[in-house]
C-alpha cells in the first residue's frame, strides 16, 4: 500500500474517531514550523474540507526583546486546496486574509566593533532576523539535506488594517504607525515564486514611508539600507 493511501486512511480515521482538537494541534504545530516561532491563538475553526479561521492569533518573539509577540491578528482566514495536502509536495493555499494585524519590530543597537580609525561601529539586531544579516553579511546558512521538502504557495494574500509598533533600544518611547492595505499574489518558500521573506521587506518599506518620527526613520534607513 502506497504512503499516500496510508496517509489518507489515517486522516479519515482521525476525522471519524478523534475530535477536532487533535487536528487543531496538528495544524498549530505545522504553522509554528513554517514561521519558526511559537504560535498561540484564542479560537480555531475548521470548515471542512478547505477552510480554516483562526481568531486572536499571536506569533511569539524570543525572550530577549521588548515585545512579547512578533505578530498579532484579530482574524486569519485560510482557504486551501485539499488535494495538495495528499498528492503533492507543494501545499497550495488559495487565499490568505489577515485582518487587523499588529507587526512588532524590535531593533537593538550595540557598539562593540572598532573601525580602522579607532571609532566604534554600530551593529544592529532585530526580532525578524534581517538587521544582522544586512549589516554583518554572515555566510549563507547550510541546511542539512532533506529527503522530502514540503513547500507552500499562497495564491492570494490580503493584509487589512495593519499597524506597526516599533521599539528601538536607543529611543526611549515605542512608536506606532498605521500601514497601508497590502495585496500579494503567488508568495511562498520556493524560488519560482516571490519568497515570503520578501513580504517582510515590503512591510518594512511601508513602515519607513508611514512613520512621522524623523529619528526613527533615520535609524530604519541605517539598519535596513533603504
Instruction: Return the pLDDT at 207.
Output: 92
Residue 92 lies in a domain: yes
Mean predicted confidence (pLDDT) in 18-44: 72
User: HSE of 164 in the Cβ direction (CA atoms, 13 Å)?
Assistant: 24
Mean predicted confidence (pLDDT) in 48-74: 89
Residue 158 lies in a domain: yes
Q: What percentage of the chain carries pLDDT values higher than 70?
A: 73
Mean predicted confidence (pLDDT) in 44-52: 81
Residue 27 lies in a domain: no
What 3-state class would DSSP assign to 38? Answer: coil
Residue 28 lies in a domain: no
State pLDDT tens for residues 183-216.
999 998 777 788 877 888 899 899 999 998 999 9
Residue 23 lies in a domain: no
Residue 12 lies in a domain: no
State pLDDT tens for residues 93-148.
899 999 999 999 999 987 665 455 555 667 888 998 888 878 765 555 554 554 44
Confidence of residue 4 (pLDDT cuts 50, 70, 90): low
| pTM score of the predicted model | 0.76
Q: Which domain holds residue 165?
A: 39-139+148-224
Q: Convert 7-37 to b/e letters by CB count within 10 Å (16 or more is b).
A: eeeeeeeeeeeeeeeebbeebbeebeeeeeb
Domain count, the chain: 1
Residue 54 lies in a domain: yes
Instruction: Return the pLDDT at 106.
Output: 95
Q: What percentage of the chain carries pLDDT values higher than 90?
A: 36
Instruction: Return the pLDDT at 5.
Output: 52
Residue 4 lies in a domain: no
**DSSP H or E run through 84:** helix 82-87
Amino acid at each position: 500500500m502506497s504512503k499516500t493511501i496510508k496517509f489518507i486512511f489515517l486522516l479519515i480515521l482521525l476525522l471519524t474517531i478523534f475530535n477536532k482538537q487533535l487536528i487543531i494541534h496538528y495544524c498549530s504545530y505545522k504553522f509554528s514550523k513554517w514561521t519558526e516561532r511559537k504560535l498561540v491563538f484564542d479560537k480555531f475553526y475548521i470548515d471542512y474540507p478547505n477552510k480554516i479561521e483562526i481568531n486572536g492569533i499571536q506569533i511569539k518573539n524570543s525572550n530577549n526583546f521588548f515585545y512579547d509577540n512578533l505578530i498579532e491578528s484579530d482574524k486569519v482566514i485560510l482557504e486551501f486546496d485539499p488535494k495538495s495536502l495528499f498528492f503533492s509536495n507543494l501545499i497550495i493555499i488559495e487565499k490568505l486574509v489577515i485582518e487587523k494585524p499588529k507587526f512588532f519590530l524590535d531593533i537593538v543597537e550595540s557598539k562593540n566593533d572598532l573601525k580602522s580609525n579607532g571609532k566604534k561601529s554600530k551593529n544592529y539586531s532585530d526580532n525578524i532576523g534581517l538587521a544582522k544579516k544586512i549589516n554583518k553579511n554572515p555566510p549563507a546558512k547550510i541546511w542539512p539535506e532533506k529527503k522530502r521538502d514540503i513547500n507552500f504557495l499562497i495564491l492570494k494574500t490580503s493584509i487589512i488594517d495593519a499597524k506597526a509598533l516599533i521599539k528601538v533600544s536607543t529611543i526611549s518611547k515605542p512608536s506606532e504607525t498605521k500601514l497601508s492595505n497590502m495585496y500579494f499574489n503567488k508568495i511562498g518558500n520556493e524560488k519560482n515564486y516571490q519568497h515570503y521573506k520578501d513580504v517582510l521587506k515590503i512591510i518594512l518599506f511601508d513602515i519607513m514611508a508611514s512613520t512621522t518620527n524623523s529619528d526613527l526613520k533615520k535609524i530604519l534607513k541605517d539598519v535596513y539600507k533603504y
